[in-house]
Amino acid sequence: MTDYRDRLRVKPGSKVRLKDVDPGYHGDGVTTADAAAMVAAYERQLELGQLKLYAESRRSLLIVLQGLDASGKDGVCRHVLDAFNPLGTTVSAFKQPTPAELAHDFLWRVHARAPGKGEVAVFNRSHYEDVLVVRVHGLVPRKVWSRRYEQINEFERQLGASGTTILKFFLYISKDEQLERFRDRLEDPRRNWKISLGDYEERSHWDEYIEAYEEALERCSTDDAPWYVIPSNRKWFRDLAVSQILCATLEDMDLRYPEPSVDLEEVRRQYHLAATGDGGRKKVKPGKGRPER
Amino acid sequence: MTDYRDRLRVKPGSKVRLKDVDPGYHGDGVTTADAAAMVAAYERQLELGQLKLYAESRRSLLIVLQGLDASGKDGVCRHVLDAFNPLGTTVSAFKQPTPAELAHDFLWRVHARAPGKGEVAVFNRSHYEDVLVVRVHGLVPRKVWSRRYEQINEFERQLGASGTTILKFFLYISKDEQLERFRDRLEDPRRNWKISLGDYEERSHWDEYIEAYEEALERCSTDDAPWYVIPSNRKWFRDLAVSQILCATLEDMDLRYPEPSVDLEEVRRQYHLAATGDGGRKKVKPGKGRPER
């Protein structure tokens, strides 16, 4: 089994050429049936890992999802990250900033949604938009956005230092695949409402977006907060790679349930063994007064 | 099939006597197998309903979960509310207030977590704690907490007027069932860390909590924001009742996908039919250059 964490990670300091990455890559000989079984197994691990993270309540996990429109950010939320208990997980979708958000520095609104101890936070789009859409459309001068790579690295380093493990996924689809997905949206009455001409118009900036992504991936993939380029033309492979990488990361965190804060034997003796009126009754077997149906 | 919305709702203005409610009630002849199938079907409906709510983006849903310790609030989050897409759903667990929260009025922290348009918000514990634990332990004078019922009603009425549908579930277990669940926690190494002596000590206030719940249910169950008393000794019945009530409520909201904002025919012609270099290729069938594996 390929280690996608190694295979798809952007090595710090390396050059990123998205032209050399095949967005249609789908593993080496993995079938969709294999993938479905593996994703299901990974999801059970993710569920367990998140429980321990929550129980431990000392560290946290931040998952950043980026990608062009229709690249599958929502799909990853629905199919992979759904494994996490909603209690203890927050998903923040960062859209066009509000006036209040624009009145602050670009990290302000994302900082507010960073995960607390024991929590998982998912950013569906993120502070990276401030070096992507903002750069492509010249929403601030180059002098301003070009400083942001280092500001982002500082910010992420600081989160890391306070116990947050960060993973960043770029869901990479081809321009043709995007058009196919727009077409599917057009042919599905339940998704017609999502269609906007703006999405089509953005396609004329495709190459500029790719260039902006390349620079962001290159300058902001660090040992503490790595970027992964996920070939995402095939949804099943995207889910497989993301879930495998997440599992490996959680495993490396070596999460453990904390020790109980009470003397279990004492609790057992004091509250459960006494046949007092305080509910200390014997456990009644199913079918004997405590039927399961 | 019993309509639990009708059966379990606290009728506005009616007297609540929890002694007359059987926390072990589990429907009229429903088997666990029936229930599992029904819950699965309801979950699919919930998933679809939430999608429409999100698409429509005009109204919102607020689900309040209350209950004594081990009554299953987390279980409902995990087993029922998990049907909602995490994107568009927030779960807020209100614990002991922080100093910043205590420096504000009791509705401040919950108001901040109210659902936006298109969103579902789940409150795991809520502003009701301010007439429950606060009352039982005398954390503020009676004069203060006794005013809160009306303040809560005003607050919920205001949310309702701005498009928020509110449902409130009291998960009702018996005192014996709680002790059983504490025992299960004691015997499960993965849950030992959760055990606190405080939970056992709270049992000595059981009757006061019941009394406080009765008054809250009585005074704050309104047509717009009804309380439901969910017999919860059996987890499967609890999930069945909650999911049925949620489905019926969403159905009554008559949610619909919005009309597309663009001329679909025009989009089809302009972007998908032209055989230009802009990705306007014919759809390639699986197995013909666009293999699924």
CB contact under 8 A, B195 and A262: yes
Confidence (pLDDT) at A54: 96
Q: Cβ distance B67 to B100 under 8 Å?
A: no
Cα-Cα-Cα-Cα torsion B121, B127, B128, B130, nearest 10 degrees, comes to 160
Confidence (pLDDT) at B1: 83
Confidence (pLDDT) at A273: 87
The Cα–Cα gap between B202 and B133 comes to 10
Task: Using CA coordinates, name the residue in chain A closest to B282.
Answer: A180
Q: How confident is the model at residue A290 (pLDDT cuts 50, 70, 90)?
A: very low
Percentage of chain A modeled with pLDDT above 90: 90
Number of H helices, E strands in chain B: 12, 5
**Is A82 an interface residue toward B (CB < 8 Å)?**
yes
Mutate to test the interface with A, among B31, B98, B125, B192 (most CBs of A within 10 A): B192
**Is A234 an interface residue toward B (CB < 8 Å)?**
yes
Confidence (pLDDT) at A1: 83
Enumerate the CATH 3.40.50.300 domain ranges in chain B, comma separated.
Answer: 4-252
Q: What is the tens place of the pLDDT at every residue in A261-280?
A: 999 999 999 999 865 544 44
Q: How confident is the model at residue A79 (pLDDT cuts 50, 70, 90)?
A: confident
Q: Which two tokens stand for residue A186?
A: 């057009």
Q: Cβ distance B120 to B63 under 8 Å?
A: yes
CB contact under 8 A, B186 and A264: yes
Confidence (pLDDT) at B273: 87
Q: Which residues of chain B have pLDDT under 70?
A: 274-293
The Cα–Cα gap between B196 and B175 comes to 17
Confidence (pLDDT) at A99: 96
CA proximity to B86, closest of A241, A72, A167, A76: A76
Q: Residue A176 pLDDT more than 80?
A: yes
Confidence (pLDDT) at A292: 37
When CB atoms are compared, the residue of B87, B179, B192 closest to A77 is B87
**Is A15 an interface residue toward B (CB < 8 Å)?**
no
- We find that the CATH architecture of domain B4-252 is 3-Layer(aba) Sandwich (3.40)
Confidence (pLDDT) at A287: 38
Confidence (pLDDT) at B280: 42
Read off the pLDDT of each residue in A46-63 and give the average, rounded to a whole number: 97
Chain A positions touching B258 (Cβ under 8 A) are: 193
CB contact under 8 A, B182 and A86: no
User: Cα dist. A173→A65, A176, A221, A231 in Å?
Assistant: 14, 8, 20, 6
Residue B192 is which amino acid?
A: N
CB contact under 8 A, B279 and A55: no
Confidence (pLDDT) at A174: 98
The DSSP secondary structure of B204-227, one letter per residue, reads GGHHHHHHHHHHHHHHH--SSS-E
pTM of the model: 0.88
Is the alpha carbon torsion for A17, A20, A23, A26 positive or negative?
A: negative
Read off the pLDDT of each residue in A228-255 and give the average, rounded to a whole number: 98
